[in-house]
Homo-oligomer: A and B are copies of this chain.
Amino acid sequence: MAEQRKVLIIDCADSTGLIAKITNICFEHKLNIVRNDEFVDSEHSRFFMRTELEGSFSDSEIIDQLTKTLPTNANIRLVETGRKKIVLMVTKEPHCLGELLMKSLYGSLNAEIVAVIGNYDTLQQLTEKFGIPFHHIPHKDVDRETHEQEIKNIIDRYTPEYLVLAKFMRILTEGFVKNYPNKIINIHHSFLPAFVGAKPYHQAYQRGVKIIGATAHFVNNNLDEGPIISQDVIPVDHRYSAEQMADAGRHVEESVLTHALQQVFNEKVLVYGNRTVVFD
């Protein structure tokens, strides 16, 4: 049997000896630990572990043993780190889409973009340059529910592992979002929780801030409130108008979104309540 590489991801109630118990089981299976990260959230007494393993895997046996050994209700996943299948949703701005298309093309984003959905057709040509189907689902003259149902129909046809809002400028309803728990990733054009809501760069300009930023986060039912994956900032000064802040912000948006997706797709992000554990 050939050598394989998988990632074991565990979170459970904390107790003494967890690392010993888990690594013993790996050792019995002759699996080599390539990289190992643990974290104990002492406030909530919760244990998190991510282990990159090399060897030949009897998946169900390993998971059975772990289940018997670990505290009840442990979350145990043994996953491959191959390319993820993703669907992007966009509106009119090309920069995040362009970045993801390019990085996916030459392999530095660990994902295959299987489709792009837009509520405008502005980005159709760019998408199709890369041989990827573009679905134009206009929101005009349809009610929100119908629009989201049409989007959902397209998405489900592709069975993607993640849905990425690459500057999709419509608010998604709770009804839509709950179909994809911790599977929708959004880029928000501010350093959350500053400037929640519309026109963050105009808010930032009005407030006279000296730094602007971007936030990549999972989307749950509260807009702009889901677990944060990654954030970054750049300095601005009095010479920036709101429009120039938006221009400058685009580069940060691209790079924060890409960084967050690389972490998620490489199975380095665990969601816990409204927070993330990122084994960077």
Contacts and interface: CB of A to CB of B under 8 A. Distances in A.
27 contacts: A19-B19, A19-B23, A20-B23, A20-B27, A23-B23, A34-B42, A35-B239, A42-B241, A43-B241, A95-B108, A99-B102, A101-B102, A102-B102, A105-B126, A106-B126, A129-B129, A191-B194, A191-B211, A192-B194, A192-B209, A193-B207, A194-B194, A208-B227, A210-B228, A210-B278, A211-B233, A237-B278
| Number of identical monomers bound together in the oligomeric complex | 4
A42 B52 CA distance: 14
A139 interface: no
A17 B276 CA distance: 29
Chain A interface secondary structure, helix, strand, loop or mixed? Answer: mixed
Given A129-B130, A238-B39, A228 B250 contact: no
B16 A32 contact: yes
Nearest to A242: B43
Interface in A94-151: 94-95, 98-99, 101-103, 105-106, 108, 126, 129-130
Nearest to A24: B20
Contact of A195 (B39, B103, B106, B193): B193
Contacts of A275: 208, 238
A247 interface: yes
Interface in A156-173: none
Interface of A: 16-17, 19-20, 23-24, 26-27, 30, 32-43, 94-95, 98-99, 101-103, 105-106, 108, 126, 129-130, 191-195, 207-211, 213, 227-233, 237-239, 241, 247, 250-251, 255, 274-278, 280
Contacts of A42: 34, 241
Contacts of A208: 227-228, 274-276
Nearest to A190: B194
Nearest to A269: B238
A108 B248 CA distance: 10
Contacts of A36: 19, 36, 38
A250 B108 CA distance: 10
